[in-house]
Chains A and B, each alone.
Chain A
């Protein structure tokens, strides 16, 4: 633990403030009682498109959460995640597998004289989403029935269990003011046409964004009167700003998290929001060098995942055993068909009649994936496989397995990959169904049982049954020999011990629910 110091700057600032207050006859205690509380956070870049239909994601979702109504929100339940209705609704119930009834809270109004929050706003917002860039989140929605000023029903076109967690709690589930969006021309970018939440939003491009008290808000008061976000694009710079006392909370990089765990700054604490990122090493099952499953299984046995986590990720992330992340139903806690065993790898290669094998691994040219690729290179060299590491910029990397982007997919052999998603196993498993071959299923295997289980998992609302389904789906993935599961990187935040933070499992902060003790 480092020592707390009274800096010259804070001494001067405090002294000046006390002096100024004494001139107007206020004591600091009186001012604290009367003054506004400000939360200082980091923004990793300007919010470019606040419209949920066309947003980029990330901090834009954070802004939506503060200023727009949602029907549901994430709730941590021990080590797992579930959902709960927000204070914008008095009722949110799954009547049957395809009907979700809702009733909006009374007395909530849109800013700028745009009237009360109405069920017609829900209908407008969700039906509008179907034709936008984020329309995929609403594929299961057929339409919204408005049954009263504040009541209605979301009608799904098929049973879709993940709808609450994936759609209603997430950014696309934001509700817009029909009247104000219409007046704004049907779309908006850097300013909300109207807000209905505890804060109003403003930004100075390149510098900051501010959430100030919404004078028209009649709902629960947030923990802070004002939230000031400084634009700091580099995570490392933000970490230094926290250490300099200029931020109250910031996201941590993996190596800093390891450093803080060894020597936590005085008065600081770390909160892990979730671990919804999953990293693995993939293999192209159709490539001539990898068509023999014994060769793929040999590679599975040759890779020392513990070393990768220790050397590339400072032992911070959780070891991965599948695509379903910790805290979600269907999360695996062990592999079934392989473990690190170089002897077994050599035996499998001999069994396959393969010697002097030379392969390539493609990796994003950033620190952790490159380190992971180099460790894999050393691991495979130990069993007699020569591995050529090919670092790639994000442009060519993200389309190398996509058939519509050229012929690179034909040469694809091994690669390191990281996906992230929302807190429902449906999202992580959707990329590997047969129809995704050549799109996101770069491993290029097809399995009828997997496809069938995927459909069952969507339709099933019983948690125990869903757990079984997703466990089996990951078994199938592993049995293809095309995967070496690596790790789940956490979304972790450092903050003072006396500030309780609120973060979605995918990392978006909800400033409304921050509190100060």
Chain B
């Protein structure tokens, strides 16, 4: 297990470094002077000069990257171009909102999708299975941004049941929870379908296994067989899917954060791209990548812990 863990960690670090390098080069490949782009067309020569010096733009690109990578290793993601605040502080203020949104979205998707998949699998080709199939494919097909806009128009603009914008008052947990409902609904909806289909397929495979037939033959209750014996095995690919899907969840959250004007790392990246605030773009993308890799790593470790055969597959 330890060897597996070291291998996976090494791979994760390599991915983060690659992303860091590619992102750094891409930002410098954008046509135009980065200082003019960031500060706007009417920035004074003095302001452009200050910015260039602060961002090391007067040095060769490789030296800029080496300096930046060295800072990142020590946890210093640089400073905001405009306010001069620490990028790590700014990201720290926002990331909690994204994590809450992703956890809530995936939470309700798992809570609904997994039982739906199980039910569809234990009664294949029944009306329940068919309804579940239609609903699953339907929810997969609806893009999260479209769902966000519909939800906003229906529940906020027309019915005025739920708040349209923001994350709720700071420190007011019930208010923040209410503000989380629509974005979580929009972001998590397609995952209900994915999970239901995945769990159904896995369950159908596992339900045909001899040990499940034996469990039935021993007279165990169907619920015990399904949730005690079949689901723990069938859920393994679903755990991997959730881990891999976290990346998709981050991009879906970007749309929800923009549409609901909700703070979060996605909206931070979006706003920073519009403002050409490259230190924040770099820092936030690196953190989002690390977050994604961290979740994938955790899901891999969880799967390998449940199923030791996986440890030899790296």
List chain A positions with a Cβ less than 8 A from chain B: 5, 7-10, 45-46, 48-49, 54, 56, 133, 135-136, 189-190, 204-208, 230-234, 237-238, 240-241, 243-247, 393-396, 398-399, 405
Residue of B nearest to A395 (CB): B32
B160-A230 in contact (CB<8A): no
Tell me how far the C-beta of B178 lies from the nearest C-beta in chain A, rounded to whole angstroms. 10
The distance in angstroms between the C-alpha atoms of A241 and B262, with both chains bound, is 12
A206-B157 in contact (CB<8A): no
Does B94 interact with chain A (Cβ within 8 Å)?
yes
Q: Given A204-B170, A233-B271, A240–B84 Cβ distance below 8 Å?
A: no
On chain A, the residues within 8 Å of B267 by CB distance are 206, 233
Query: For window 138-173 of chain B, which residues contact chain A by CB distance below 8 Å?
Result: 152-153, 156-157, 159-167, 170
Residue of A nearest to B32 (CB): A395
Does B275 interact with chain A (Cβ within 8 Å)?
yes
- The one of A207, A231, A244 in contact with B160, judged by C-beta atoms closer than 8 angstroms, is A244
The distance in angstroms between the C-alpha atoms of A120 and B126, with both chains bound, is 85
Please give 17 more A-B residue pairs, beta carbons under 8 A apart, in addition to A232-B165, A241-B261: A8-B160, A189-B82, A206-B93, A206-B267, A207-B170, A233-B261, A233-B270, A237-B261, A240-B152, A244-B164, A246-B164, A247-B165, A395-B36, A398-B32, A398-B41, A399-B33, A405-B36
Does B40 interact with chain A (Cβ within 8 Å)?
yes
The distance in angstroms between the C-alpha atoms of A101 and B263, with both chains bound, is 47
Does B288 interact with chain A (Cβ within 8 Å)?
no
Q: Given A45-B271, A399-B32, A244–B263 Cβ distance below 8 Å?
A: no
Does B129 interact with chain A (Cβ within 8 Å)?
no
Query: For window 254-313 of chain B, which residues contact chain A by CB distance below 8 Å?
Result: 258-261, 263, 267-268, 270-271, 274-276
A133-B36 in contact (CB<8A): no
- The one of B47, B157, B263 in contact with A207, judged by C-beta atoms closer than 8 angstroms, is B263
Tell me how far the C-beta of B82 lies from the nearest C-beta in chain A, rounded to whole angstroms. 4
Q: Given A189-B83, A241-B164, A244-B160, A232–B261 Cβ distance below 8 Å?
A: yes
Q: Given A190-B83, A233-B274, A241-B261, A395–B165 Cβ distance below 8 Å?
A: no
Q: Given A48-B82, A49-B83, A241-B261, A205–B157 Cβ distance below 8 Å?
A: no
Q: Given A10-B160, A45-B271, A190-B83, A133–B37 Cβ distance below 8 Å?
A: no
A396-B46 in contact (CB<8A): no
Q: Given A48-B83, A206-B94, A231-B261, A399–B164 Cβ distance below 8 Å?
A: no
Chain B interface residue count, CB cutoff 8 Å, equals 47
A206-B268 in contact (CB<8A): yes
B36-A7 in contact (CB<8A): no
A133-B43 in contact (CB<8A): yes
The distance in angstroms between the C-alpha atoms of A219 and B84, with both chains bound, is 34
The distance in angstroms between the C-alpha atoms of A489 and B273, with both chains bound, is 25
Residue of B nearest to A40 (CB): B165
- The one of A45, A46, A231, A405 in contact with B33, judged by C-beta atoms closer than 8 angstroms, is A405
Q: Mark B20-52, 1 if CB is under 8 A from A, else 0.
A: 000000000011110011001101101100000
Q: Given A8-B160, A45-B271, A398-B36, A205–B90 Cβ distance below 8 Å?
A: yes
Query: For window 36-81 of chain B, which residues contact chain A by CB distance below 8 Å?
Result: 36-37, 40-41, 43-44, 46-47, 80
B260-A237 in contact (CB<8A): yes
Q: Given A233-B258, A233-B271, A240-B157, A396–B82 Cβ distance below 8 Å?
A: no
Residue of B nearest to A405 (CB): B33
Tell me how far the C-beta of B98 lies from the nearest C-beta in chain A, rounded to whole angstroms. 11
On chain B, the residues within 8 Å of A234 by CB distance are 258-259, 261
B47-A45 in contact (CB<8A): no
Tell me how far the C-beta of A426 lies from the nearest C-beta in chain B, rounded to whole angstroms. 16
Residue of B nearest to A11 (CB): B160
The distance in angstroms between the C-alpha atoms of A132 and B102, with both chains bound, is 44
- The one of B30, B83, B85, B271 in contact with A393, judged by C-beta atoms closer than 8 angstroms, is B30
Q: Given A240-B164, A241-B164, A399–B36 Cβ distance below 8 Å?
A: yes
The distance in angstroms between the C-alpha atoms of A498 and B148, with both chains bound, is 31
A133-B46 in contact (CB<8A): yes
Tell me how far the C-beta of B177 lies from the nearest C-beta in chain A, rounded to whole angstroms. 15
The distance in angstroms between the C-alpha atoms of A204 and B93, with both chains bound, is 9
The distance in angstroms between the C-alpha atoms of A204 and B97, with both chains bound, is 13
* Residue of A48, A135, A245 ringed by the most chain B CB atoms within 10 A: A48
A237-B258 in contact (CB<8A): yes
What are 29 inter-chain pairs, A to B, with CB distance below 8 A? A7-B161, A8-B159, A8-B161, A54-B47, A133-B44, A189-B82, A189-B84, A205-B94, A207-B170, A230-B166, A230-B261, A231-B166, A231-B261, A232-B165, A233-B261, A237-B258, A237-B259, A237-B260, A240-B153, A240-B156, A241-B165, A244-B164, A393-B30, A393-B31, A394-B276, A396-B31, A398-B32, A399-B33, A405-B36
- The one of A7, A9, A237 in contact with B165, judged by C-beta atoms closer than 8 angstroms, is A237
Tell me how far the C-beta of A353 lies from the nearest C-beta in chain B, rounded to whole angstroms. 37
A395-B276 in contact (CB<8A): yes
On chain A, the residues within 8 Å of B40 by CB distance are 56, 398
The distance in angstroms between the C-alpha atoms of A205 and B94, with both chains bound, is 9
The distance in angstroms between the C-alpha atoms of A208 and B175, with both chains bound, is 15
A395-B37 in contact (CB<8A): yes
Q: Mark B80-105, 1 if CB is under 8 A from A, else 0.
A: 10111100001001100100000000
On chain A, the residues within 8 Å of B258 by CB distance are 233-234, 237
On chain B, the residues within 8 Å of A207 by CB distance are 166-167, 170, 263
- The one of B83, B153, B166 in contact with A208, judged by C-beta atoms closer than 8 angstroms, is B166
Residue of B nearest to A394 (CB): B37
Residue of A nearest to B259 (CB): A237
